[in-house]
């Protein structure tokens, strides 16, 4: 009889856990749908601003399908789980930022320049500094002032009688 009572009491707790898990899942779905809506709204706004066209559902879905199938040209990985792609739609090329986790177009850029691997200035400077340290022919030059600094100036004193 005690076993039945324990099982009966345990059934209440399992239901509550399942209900809370289901509530959490629905909340996360709502959050991701809201993020998707905001990202596509931003991409549509930038497309109107930069190219003068309206982002339709058909255009967005074809761009995403091209990216997934590999028809689009991959440029580089960017920050926050996004990638830069060149997508062709109706014989016109667009440089697009695509979030691969949420499968959404984040933004559309103005021009298609080769934005592949360009070393940043910080990396370039670090490399130059390392080379200069180990380069035997490298010597630091002393700084020369325009006018030499005079510390001991001669001062003449006149005696008054």
User: pLDDT of 57-114, one tens digit each?
Assistant: 999 999 999 999 999 999 888 888 899 999 999 999 999 999 998 899 999 998 776 5
Backbone φ and ψ for 149, nearest 5 degrees, come out as -80, 125
Counted domains in the chain? 1
Three-state DSSP class for residue 141: coil
Measured CA to CA in angstroms, residue 88 lies from 10, 107, 132 at distances of 58, 15, 46
Q: Give 107-135 pLDDT, tens digit per residue.
A: 999 877 655 545 555 666 666 666 555 55
Cβ(55)–Cβ(43) below 8 Å: yes
Within a domain: residue 130?
Answer: no
> Domain range for residue 37?
2-108
Cβ(75)–Cβ(84) below 8 Å: yes
Question: What pLDDT was estimated at residue 4?
Answer: 73
Within a domain: residue 119?
Answer: no
Question: What pLDDT was estimated at residue 112?
Answer: 73
Sheet of strand 73-78: strand arrangement = 73-78, 82-89, 92-99, 104-108
Residue 22: which pLDDT band, with cuts at 50, 70 and 90?
A: low
Within a domain: residue 123?
Answer: no
Cβ(92)–Cβ(74) below 8 Å: no
Looking up tokens 């709204």 gives: 41
Identify the weakest region by mean pLDDT among 3-12, 30-39, 129-138, 146-155: 129-138
Token reading at 153: 């100036």
Report which listed range, 5-19, 25-39, 62-76, is most confident: 62-76
Q: What is the pTM of this model?
A: 0.53
Position 14 pLDDT exceeds 60 = no
Within a domain: residue 57?
Answer: yes
Within a domain: residue 134?
Answer: no
Within a domain: residue 127?
Answer: no
Within a domain: residue 160?
Answer: no
């Amino acid at each position: 009889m005690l076993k039945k009572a324990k099982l009966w009491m345990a059934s209440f707790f399992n239901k509550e856990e399942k209900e809370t898990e289901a509530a959490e899942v629905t909340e996360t779905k709502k959050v991701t749908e809201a993020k998707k809506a905001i990202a596509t709204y931003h991409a549509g706004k930038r497309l109107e601003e930069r190219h003068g066209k309206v982002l339709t559902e058909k255009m967005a879905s074809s761009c995403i399908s091209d990216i997934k199938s590999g028809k689009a040209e991959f440029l580089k990985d960017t920050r926050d789980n996004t990638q830069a792609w060149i997508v062709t739609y109706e014989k016109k090329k667009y440089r697009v930022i695509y979030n691969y986790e949420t499968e959404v177009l984040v933004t559309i850029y103005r021009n298609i320049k080769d934005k592949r691997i360009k070393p940043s200035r910080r990396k370039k400077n670090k490399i130059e500094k390392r080379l200069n340290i180990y380069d035997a022919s490298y010597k630091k030059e002393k700084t020369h002032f325009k006018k030499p600094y005079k510390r001991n100036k001669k001062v003449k004193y006149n005696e008054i009688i």
